[in-house]
A and B are shown apart, each in its own frame.
Chain A
């Protein structure tokens, strides 16, 4: 099965600070690829570079067979990107419904269809419908995360990238979020690229794991590989693999 997203030899960072070097990974439809690594390993930088928010120093990004390395960030949404950034990046001063409408921005969706898509989101997350007139900043952390996911799904993306969707959430809500992510893979057939810190939770849902350390891929393979947890633990607690 050909992959939705194919990243080869990606190098990126902030200004003269190169954070990730020569990262390669791929995400197939209806699978969850998890990016693991301790803080500062370059996980978020990798996702931001894929989304076009950070300049790509070298390497290539192919999306649905099309080379998109140089496509500006704002054009990637229409191609079928969904990206949930870390820290529940919703527009806190806008209402829940306005946030959702932003999820359809620039797609030329008619009012009629807009309503249908919003209804879809409300069916998936009924709590959002109850609070649709409320500014998003008034929602709890878990509800904000659901809103962020709902927004990212409105364009019916082929790829969903999630940056620590469970960070700062209560465990029961983490389970709910993970369930949602699994549903997106199993029911909707999405390709999911997931960053998580909580290793065990992640290994439980992922199909494929990419382990980063000091900005490089130190391990890549199926999530059910025996002894994987030991490898991850070593990377988290010990010296950089220099």
Chain B
């Protein structure tokens, strides 16, 4: 299959998906809704299907926080309990209305998510897991404290049958309502998962550093996902309260949490529809005490270990793996290069470059002075190269500008606006886009990778995304046209649908540049873009950098390859031992005696300065204030 054919077939299959999927969803939902009235299911199965749907709701919440935001949480059982008890109390003591109960539960779920997420997410990892596990542990205590209202450990019995606007719903009515709510929630869930926000999650999961350099607030996004995760669980709780009319704390214990986790792992923690597979297997299998009895726990545990070790993507991931293997059978991978035969001279849309001012910047690490009163400027339409021997502070300076390090003294301004003191994602939002020494790309297609830079430039809220409101669809349309333009200008159009991680290094560096451009940058920071590239790749890269300059962008380039510096830079700034040695046009720098001395000879007497601070330190320090350590270097 030629590339053109494969693109056509990809387009066709996406069209099929966009028609078939909604139709299929409506058909299946309708079938389930009308099943009881068509006598397709008996009361027993109605109950089982409803329990699967409720479990699926809870599991989808876990998938949001664990699969998408990358934070393991056991809190679902607590949210489920909160929704159930809120509903029970409401129905027995205030007003019995399903719709109102669903709204109240949703609010309670969101609030609980925020309360446990705000402290827990600051550290993430097992701290968050512990906090959320603890929340589950507290359910019986809270129920006992409010014994009069919630029934204590004896349980809360006598919850009336559900009513909606005064009409009593029978078993079938409750069943239908549960299916409708589940079906609607999964549409919203799917809309969020398959969206620019969903892709933002996969970026921040794979590299928090990259995410914040693209203007995404790592903490904010994780908190949103985590809080939202409580919502479906609480909704499920409402139905559960009405289902049996009886609640007791031990229904929401740790074993339920673990069953939810097992269902998520089994179906696939990043899957949408896999949730139903996981929920159905757990509900009809081990959770069915009539069959499994005391073996349930062993089954949960074995599932966790076996699937966790053997099928990291769960059943859904496994199916996808097989499908992509079948699709690629015979086809060659990972040799895709950017097309050079076209040899387009890239022309970019005008960029609103801003003047960068670094004024008296100093930075210390412990007892080591990494930067001392560094002052220079870079203007729009100019490429400024930053050179200097190992450990001279170049990368440190880049990290100071992009906000991964805080300055100790001095300040950084862009277009007159002060950058220093802002967090890295705010600085990115102000128009500073960067590349990394080791290219950082997430597991996305080339097109989606470029589009991630537009996430924070063209905002659409989670609600707008889930409901596909006009602001979201407009943002997506603009994403498409701008990304297309950038891909064309950088010669990446032919590989637009390839996996970014499968590209060779040179193309990945161009991709990083393209991504930076899609962010409509006022300043582009390039950290050793040429290292590891061959001549031809360096040429292609230089063309793009020149095009950025012609378009009016401001470029700051850290580079060791002096030939490239000579070729590209309008001005060279030389650092040594954290101090600015000199600056000037490249020809002058190449013969500057002091520069030669710094590169080749001994250091001048009085300076005692830093060792080399490389990207590891960025990762280290950034992780410190981002909280989470899941940054990948690849």
Selecting from A11-19, A25-33, A99-107, A119-127, the interface stretch reads: A11-19
Selecting from A48-56, A110-118, A194-202, the interface stretch reads: A194-202
Across the interface, which residues of A come within 8 angstroms of B602, CB to CB? 171, 174, 198, 200-201
Q: Could you tell me the distance in whole angstroms from the C-beta of B614 to the nearest C-beta in chain A?
A: 9
Q: Could you tell me the distance in whole angstroms from the C-beta of A17 to the nearest C-beta in chain B?
A: 5
Interchain CA distance A18-B506 in the complex, whole Å: 12
Q: Could you tell me the distance in whole angstroms from the C-beta of A172 to the nearest C-beta in chain B?
A: 8
Contact check, A200 vs B563: say whether CB atoms are below 8 A apart: no
> Is A216's beta carbon under 8 Å from chain B?
no
> Is A236's beta carbon under 8 Å from chain B?
yes
- Which residues of A in the span 1-55 have a Cβ within 8 Å of any Cβ on B? 13-19, 38-40
Across the interface, which residues of B come within 8 angstroms of A239, CB to CB? 562-563
B366: which of A17, A40, A137, A168 is its contact (CB, 8 Å)?
Answer: A137
Tell me the dominant secondary structure on chain A's binding face. loop
Residue of A nearest to B578 (CB): A168
Residue of B nearest to A239 (CB): B563
B505: which of A17, A39, A174, A232 is its contact (CB, 8 Å)?
Answer: A17
Selecting from B17-25, B89-97, B543-551, B603-611, the interface stretch reads: B603-611
> Is B142's beta carbon under 8 Å from chain A?
no
- Which residues of B in the span 540-594 have a Cβ within 8 Å of any Cβ on A? 560-563, 577, 590
Residue of A nearest to B604 (CB): A171
Across the interface, which residues of B come within 8 angstroms of A197, CB to CB? 389-390, 599
Contact check, B438 vs A17: say whether CB atoms are below 8 A apart: yes
Interchain CA distance A168-B368 in the complex, whole Å: 9
Across the interface, which residues of A come within 8 angstroms of B438, CB to CB? 14, 17
Contact check, A200 vs B560: say whether CB atoms are below 8 A apart: no
Contact check, B563 vs A233: say whether CB atoms are below 8 A apart: no
> Is A187's beta carbon under 8 Å from chain B?
no
> Is A67's beta carbon under 8 Å from chain B?
no
Across the interface, which residues of B come within 8 angstroms of A71, CB to CB? none
> Is B535's beta carbon under 8 Å from chain A?
yes
Interchain CA distance A86-B610 in the complex, whole Å: 12
Q: Could you tell me the distance in whole angstroms from the C-beta of B370 to the nearest C-beta in chain A?
A: 10
> Assuming A201-B602, A232-B600, A239-B563, is B535 touching A141 (CB within 8 A)?
no
Q: Could you tell me the distance in whole angstroms from the C-beta of B6 to the nearest C-beta in chain A?
A: 24
Q: Could you tell me the distance in whole angstroms from the C-beta of A75 to the nearest C-beta in chain B?
A: 25
> Is B634's beta carbon under 8 Å from chain A?
yes
Interchain CA distance A198-B389 in the complex, whole Å: 9
Contact check, A238 vs B563: say whether CB atoms are below 8 A apart: yes
Across the interface, which residues of A come within 8 angstroms of B319, CB to CB? none
Contact check, A233 vs B600: say whether CB atoms are below 8 A apart: yes
> Is B601's beta carbon under 8 Å from chain A?
yes
Q: A14-B438, A168-B609 known; 5 other A-B pairs, CB under 8 Å?
A: A86-B612, A167-B611, A170-B605, A199-B600, A239-B563
Q: What are 14 A-B contacts with C-beta separation under 8 Å? A: A17-B438, A38-B562, A38-B599, A40-B561, A87-B612, A141-B368, A167-B391, A171-B603, A198-B600, A201-B601, A237-B562, A237-B590, A238-B562, A242-B535
Binding site for A on B (CB under 8 A): 366-368, 389-391, 438, 504-505, 528, 531-532, 534-535, 560-563, 577, 590, 596, 599-605, 607-612, 634
Q: Which 10 A-B pairs have the closest CB atoms?
A: A239-B563, A87-B611, A39-B560, A40-B560, A199-B600, A168-B611, A170-B608, A200-B601, A17-B532, A40-B531
